[in-house]
Amino acid sequence: MSFPSMPNPDVVIIGAGIIGINCALALQARGKRVLMLDRSGIAVETSSGNAGAFAFPEVEPLATPGIMLKAPKWLLDPLGPLSIPPAYAPKIAPWMLRFWRASWRDRYDASVTAQAALMTHSRRALDRVIADVGGEAFIRREGQLQLFQSPRAFAATERARTRREELGIPFDVLDGPDAIAEIQPGLSPRFTHAIFTPTWMNVTDPALWARHLAAKVLERGAAFEPVTVTGLQRDGAGATVLTERGRVRAPHVVVAAGAWSHKLARDLGDRIPLETERGYNTTFPTASVDIKTHLTFSEHGFVVSRIGDGLRVGGAVELGGLDRPPNYARAQTLLNKAAEFLPGLEKTGGTQWMGYRPSLPDSLPVIGRAAHAPDVVYAFGHGHLGLTQSSGTGDLVAALVDQSGPQFDLKPFRANRF
């Protein structure tokens, strides 16, 4: 078979994870012939192993005011909820400087405002996608329970709760173990407070959801090539994608390659400070405890969610780049804590996993045109919110390619904002 299998595509999408798939879906709705390229397959890497949450209420960036006071602890606790391997600290120092600046009050407020707007847009776009692909069977509407072990820990969320109220995000405050047990029985009585968000949504399994969307995209005429992309060139009106099997030229290219995207952007002259939030989890094929809702253990940086007939324990942030080997002791630490908090949880029989979540210092993705190549559109850097913002990102990318908008302020997400 000749390469590529689709001659003369309108758009080449680099990356067939959840962002790339949603870009393809939205572009097809505008009549574009789409070719997707990915070295591993469709939704094989990070998109398959997340917690399955559509976390629309989560508008706070990682860089919050005062967070840099905790930086020394990140270096000293390699198994903590946010860590930096000491040997990696010099390499990440420029990113951390931008992260520190993003935590200042002015930048923080701007990030929250932009994130909230993208969340609203993405929620509406997701509703359209669910209807379009017949996806309701993949959706769980069971809410989220955010748990705290002390009044002090709960009080520290006052700013976030106020922001949610301002944005009209509904939530209920639960006081005491008995009130918490009405939502989720079987938790340790150590939790003194909780916040229940009833409108929170999950997918039954993020890998199955992504494959369902991809199947629709392929049914509607898109093509997919399992190939490693090696570079990107501006080429008059359009761009040329360099791969291990040859060149592919198209009038438009979308870069949605997750944690590897900044390397391609560099070919076009855009130096984007993308770092990698390495996330860990353990997935069990059957559930030893009855999880009623998505559980978030905020003080410890991890969640427990239902995945298929089983459950997944995962989270935390390790800022460690793409090349270091996984430290699965982090996954075990999260599992040990989960077993303390859910005494009936069986710790054997699970599968450990690590994924690369692409992260910018201000927790906002890059969505927009390349600075020196307007026919190339960037769609990456969503951190741990890739699934959440995937439908909205696809809609915005399609509008950029189609030159019909979008009717949305993309200035906070531009590639050269740093």
Give the number of other Cβ atoms within 10 Å of residue 333's Cβ.
19
Of residues 337 and 159, more confidently modeled: 337
Residue 54 has a pLDDT of 97
Q: Tell me what pLDDT residue 11 has.
A: 98
Cβ atoms 390, 253 nearer than 8 A: no
Question: If pLDDT is split at 50, 70 and 90, which confidence band does 209 have?
Answer: very high
CATH 3.30.9.10 residue ranges for the chain: 53-202+275-359
Return the closest-CA partner of residue 393 out of 353, 358, 356, 354: 358
Residues 6+ apart with CB under 8 A from 263: none
Burial label for 370, CB within 10 Å (0-12, 13-18, 19+), is buried
Residue 73: predicted pLDDT: 78
The per-residue pLDDT for range 275-314, each reduced to its tens digit, is: 999 999 999 999 999 999 999 998 899 999 999 999 999 9
User: Is the pLDDT reported for residue 192 higher than 80?
Assistant: yes
Least confident of 94-103, 159-168, 257-266, 380-389: 159-168
State phi, psi for 250 to the nearest 5 degrees.
-155, 155
> What span, in angstroms and rounded, lies between the C-alpha atoms of 143 and 294?
6
pLDDT at 1: 54
Give the span between the Cα atoms of 39 and 45, in whole angstroms: 10
The contacts of residue 174 (CB under 8 Å, 6+ apart) are 145, 180, 182, 183, 193, 194, 195, 196
In one letter, which amino acid is 412? Answer: P
CA distance 194 to 213: 34
| C-alpha separations of 98 from 64, 101, 107, 178, 199 in Å | 13, 5, 11, 43, 33
As its CATH architecture, domain 11-48+207-273+363-413 has 3-Layer(bba) Sandwich (3.50)
How far from the centroid of its chain's Cα atoms is residue 351's Cα? 21
- Among candidate residues 404, 418, 391, 409, the one with its CA nearest the CA of residue 20: 391
Is residue 174 predicted with pLDDT exceeding 70?
A: yes
**pTM beyond cutoff 0.85:** yes
pLDDT per position as a tens digit, 34-73: 999 999 999 888 888 999 999 999 999 989 898 888 777 7
Tokens of 79: 């198994």
Residue type, 356: Y
How much is the mean pLDDT over the chain?
Answer: 94
pLDDT tens, position by position, 214-236: 999 999 999 999 999 999 998 87
In DSSP terms, 249 is beta-bridged to 240
Q: Which two tokens stand for residue 406?
A: 């979008």
Pairing type for strands 172-175 and 193-197 reads antiparallel
Over the stretch 374-416, which tens digit does the pLDDT of each residue have?
999 999 999 999 999 999 999 999 999 998 877 889 999 999 9
List beta partners, residue 38: 226
In angstroms, rounded to a whole number, what is the distance separating the alpha carbons of residues 60 and 65?
Answer: 11
pLDDT single digits (tens) 323-372: 999 999 999 999 999 999 999 999 999 999 999 999 999 999 999 999 99
- Check if the beta carbon of residue 267 is closer than 8 Å to that of residue 231: yes
The domain covering 53-202+275-359 belongs, at the CATH homologous superfamily level, to D-Amino Acid Oxidase, subunit A, domain 2 (3.30.9.10)
Boundaries of CATH 3.50.50.60 in the chain?
11-48+207-273+363-413
Task: Round to the nearest angstrom and report the end-to-end CA distance of the chain.
Answer: 43
Which one is predicted more confidently, 151 or 167? 151
